[in-house]
Amino acid sequence: MQPPLSPETIVGTSIEGQDVTWAQITSAAQDVREWLALKLTSGSCSSGLIYQLAGHHCRIPQWFGERDLLVDIHEVYDQVGELEKAPLTRAAPTKRAEPFTAGPLQGLWHKHWFQADFLVTNLLNETEKNGEMLIRRRLDETFGRDGWEGQILNKDLAGQLAHVMVDGALEHRAGRSKKSSRLTGEWIVFAKGRGGRNIYLTLAGHGETNEAIFKRCAFAPKEFPELSSTLPFSNEQAAP
């Protein structure tokens, strides 16, 4: 067992280039616990996730497989609150929570959280898929069906089309005109504990391997014994 870190031990560097000590992380972890207490109704958070969030509280970016990202922890808190059906929660309407169905994460679930860093990716995905439809719809609304053919692209019309390709595309992706949102971001990975309660384990990214994500979750049964008989942790215990 490793000896405990001293409060003065430097454990990371902030996005501004400042050293961050273990004392700052432990202080931030207490702040994280207090925020999560406002969002959790029946669920729990692992110590690993609490210290992940504490690192972001201290402005230490995290590597998500393809890039460093400084997480907007309040967006994560609100997304947890949304899953917990907590009052006064204002989470972005991201894609619904889904289970992993294969591989080392089978049995765990994931829910996207959204922050400003993910805006460009969502707009690019939406305009690539539905951009022409959104423009045609706005033109038909303005000029009547197919009445826009031959119209001069003046400043006002250009402004309308620009609005459609940004605000309109984002609203469409967020499900304002559909039954469900398709906003994506990175993941909150969680397990289903006793009675179906959520146990939140780690933040993870699309660019990471499933094995790397599972490595951060593997210790969960020690903190939450109720998970020891559920996938994927029961597979680990059954392995020779």
- When mean pLDDT is compared across 24-28, 53-57, 118-122, 221-225, the lowest value belongs to 118-122
Per-residue pLDDT, 117 = 72
Strand partners, 21: 10
Residue listed under structure tokens 């998500």: 64
Element (H, E) at 161: helix 155-163
- Please state the pTM of the whole predicted model: 0.78
Q: Rounding to the nearest 10 degrees, give the CA dihedral for residues 39, 44, 47, 48.
A: -90
Q: Is the pLDDT of residue 193 over 70?
A: yes
Question: Is residue 90 within 8 Å of 80, Cβ to Cβ?
Answer: no
Q: Is the pLDDT of residue 14 over 70?
A: yes
Q: What 3-state DSSP class applies to 113?
A: strand
Mean per-residue pLDDT, 233-237: 78
Among residues of the chain, what percentage have pLDDT more than 70? 69
Q: What is the pLDDT confidence band of residue 47, given thresholds at 50, 70 and 90?
A: very high
Mean per-residue pLDDT, 206-228: 96
Segment 139-192, tens digit of pLDDT: 666 666 665 565 666 676 666 656 665 555 556 556 555 556 656 789 999 999
Mean per-residue pLDDT, 97-123: 86
Q: How many CB atoms lie within 10 A of CB 185?
A: 26
Q: Is the pLDDT of residue 240 over 70?
A: no
Q: Is the pLDDT of residue 72 over 80?
A: yes
Contacts (Cβ under 8 Å, ≥6 apart) of 180? 95, 96
Element (H, E) at 21: strand 19-21
